[in-house]
Homo-oligomer: A and B are copies of this chain.
């Protein structure tokens, strides 16, 4: 059976899997990134995991290998330009080692583009012509997929949805150096920051030992009926709805997918309010042709996405 090997290298976990051309995952293996790094040669460990996953599938005819990486990637060499969570791979070209190790063509990109491809091809974006995938977790990233391929722009950085400026003045600082970005306002970190302000008079949930506010705790509070927590989510939906309206007005997609831990975990608090904001703040002619959906793939998105990078390469 013709298969693709997907290598999903994250800051905390490395997951690998054997994936069919129809997006079915035939085998997977995982390891902590720290464990991969402990021997000093994480790439060797990743290749070892990939070989082990392949060995679990009888009669696999490998077509290609794809690697999803936790940062900006130069795709020619499959080289991470910055790799804070796995510094051994920074500025190391992975194309040669991967091609040699598996004897097939290799492709690589950042994880947001890989997940965008996976959801567009096999998840909530099936059948879409132009799919914008937004990932909402600690930060906010994304990718645009048109006719089965990622629109990458000139340097490979297109789809930085989190760095739209929504507050021209007085917005919170963002990790990118700017202020008032969507990410600073509505990411998991942004939600926690606004919750901390809203609940400033009150100790953190569960008392001082219970740590800081998180999007998850704000969600629990909101579901319990706390109005301040509900306001935090309403504001989050406003910012995300405006960011999505901008994406629609600029790209004119037919499907928008909301993925990532916070979007999926708080879909009950976000999905309808976001749609309402988009309905009232996006160009009316475009609202009619676009659907906003929650991501469908669970668990294996990164692995399937990495495999999709290899599939995408074949359709150049």
Measured CB to CB, the residues of A under 8 A from B are: 72, 129-130, 151-161, 163-168, 176-178, 238-239, 242, 245-247, 249-254, 280-286, 289-290
Contacts and interface: CB of A to CB of B under 8 A. Distances in A.
20 contacts: A72-B285, A129-B154, A130-B154, A153-B252, A153-B253, A157-B249, A157-B283, A157-B286, A159-B252, A160-B249, A160-B283, A161-B250, A163-B283, A164-B164, A165-B242, A168-B239, A177-B283, A178-B245, A247-B250, A250-B251
Contact of A166 (B72, B154, B155, B168): B168
Contact of A177 (B158, B250, B251, B284): B284
Given A165-B166, A166-B165, A252 B285 contact: no
Contact of A165 (B151, B281, B285, B286): B281
Contacts of A178: 245, 280-283
Nearest to A288: B155
A158 B250 contact: yes
Interface centre among A154, A164, A284 (most CB of B within 10 A): A154
A159 B283 CA distance: 12
A311 to B, nearest CB: 22
A158 B283 contact: no
A177 B281 CA distance: 8
CB-CB nearest 7 A-B residue pairs: A153-B252, A158-B252, A163-B249, A160-B249, A154-B254, A157-B252, A164-B246
Number of copies: 2
Contact of A160 (B164, B250, B253, B289): B250
A138 to B, nearest CB: 18
A113 to B, nearest CB: 12
A283 B81 CA distance: 15
A246 B130 CA distance: 19
Given A157-B252, A165-B166, A178-B280, 12 more contacts: A151-B251, A154-B253, A154-B289, A157-B285, A160-B250, A160-B286, A164-B246, A166-B166, A168-B238, A168-B239, A177-B284, A178-B282
Interface centre among A247, A251, A253 (most CB of B within 10 A): A251
Interface centre among A129, A152, A249, A282 (most CB of B within 10 A): A249
A250 B154 contact: no
A101 B111 CA distance: 52
Contacts of A281: 165, 178
A288 to B, nearest CB: 9
Contacts of A151: 151, 251
A243 B242 CA distance: 14
Contacts of A250: 158-161, 164, 246-247, 250-251
